[in-house]
Amino acid sequence: MTYLFLGCRALLLVVFLAAVAGKARGRAAFAEFASSVVALRLLPRKASRAAAAAVVGTEAAAAVLLAFPATALAGFVVAIGLLVAFVTGIVMALRGGRAVPCRCFGASATPLGPVHVVRNLALTAVGLAGLAAGLTSSAWPAHAGGVAVTAATAAIGALILIRFDDLAFLFTDPKRDSPS
C-alpha cells in the first residue's frame, strides 16, 4: 500500500501542477480559462469568473496538500471533490448542448466531451485508491528502488492523463484517415 499511496499522490500532484501551470501561466491563459467557465453557463457570469479563480486556487491547494505526507489525505479529499465537480459540470454542459473548449490544462481548443468525463473519472479513481491506501497503509518503509519505479510510473500515468484528449483523438477521429 505504501507504493500505491506514493504513486497516486505523485500522479495527482503532477496533474494538478500541470493544470495550474496551464491556466496561470499568464493573464491571457487565465482569461481564456475564465471565458470557458463562463461559456459553460452553469453559473451567472460574475460567479463563473469567481469560480474560475476558485478552481485554480483549489487545484493549487490540492497539489500543495498532496506534496506532504502529513497533509496528503486532505489533498486526496480536495482532489476528489474537485474532480467530482468537474465531472458534474462537464456532464451538465454536455446535456445542455454546449460545446466549450477544454481549458483543463491551458490552451486547448478541443471541446469538452465524453473523453473528458472519462479522464476525470479515472483521476477520481486514482484519488480514491490513494485515499484508501493512505487510510489503510502501515508505516512500511519505502525502498529507493521502489520509490523510483513508482515515481516513473506515476509520471507516465500523469502524462497520459494530461494528454488524454489528444490521445483519444488519435483513435477516434474519423476524418484523420480520409483523403483530402
* DSSP conformation letters of 67-79: HSGGGHHHHHHHH
Q: Report whether pLDDT(173) > 60.
A: no
Q: Which pLDDT does position 178 carry in this prediction? A: 52
Domain boundaries, the chain: 2-157
> Per-residue pLDDT tens for 13-51?
999 999 999 888 889 888 888 888 888 888 898 899 899
> All 3 cell numbers of residue 59?
487545484
What pLDDT score does 31 carry? 86
**pLDDT tens digits, residue range 41-97?**
888 988 998 999 999 999 999 999 999 999 999 999 999 999 999 999 999 989 988
82: its cell numbers: 474537485
Cα gap 9→151, rounded to integer Å: 10
Single-letter residue type at 2: T
Residues 119 and 159: beta-carbon distance below 8 Å: no
What is the rounded distance in angstroms from the CA atom of residue 117 to the CA atom of residue 51? Answer: 19
What's the rounded Cα separation, in Å, for the pair 14 and 2? 18
Nearby residues of 112 by Cβ (< 8 Å), 6 or more positions away: 90, 93, 94, 99, 100, 101, 102
Q: Where are the beta strands (DSSP E) in 32-137?
A: none
The whole-angstrom separation of Cα 159 and Cα 180 is 31
Q: What is the pLDDT of residue 168?
A: 74
Rg (CA), the chain: 17
Residue 102 has pLDDT above 80, yes or no: no
pTM of the model: 0.86
Site of grid cell 485515499? 131
> 50 vs 31, 55, 60, CA distance in Å?
12, 9, 15
pLDDT (0 to 100) of residue 169: 72
**For 121-169, what is each residue's pLDDT tens digit?**
999 999 999 999 999 877 667 778 888 998 898 889 888 888 887 777 7
Specify the pLDDT at position 179. Answer: 53
Phi and psi, residue 108, nearest 5°: -130, 135
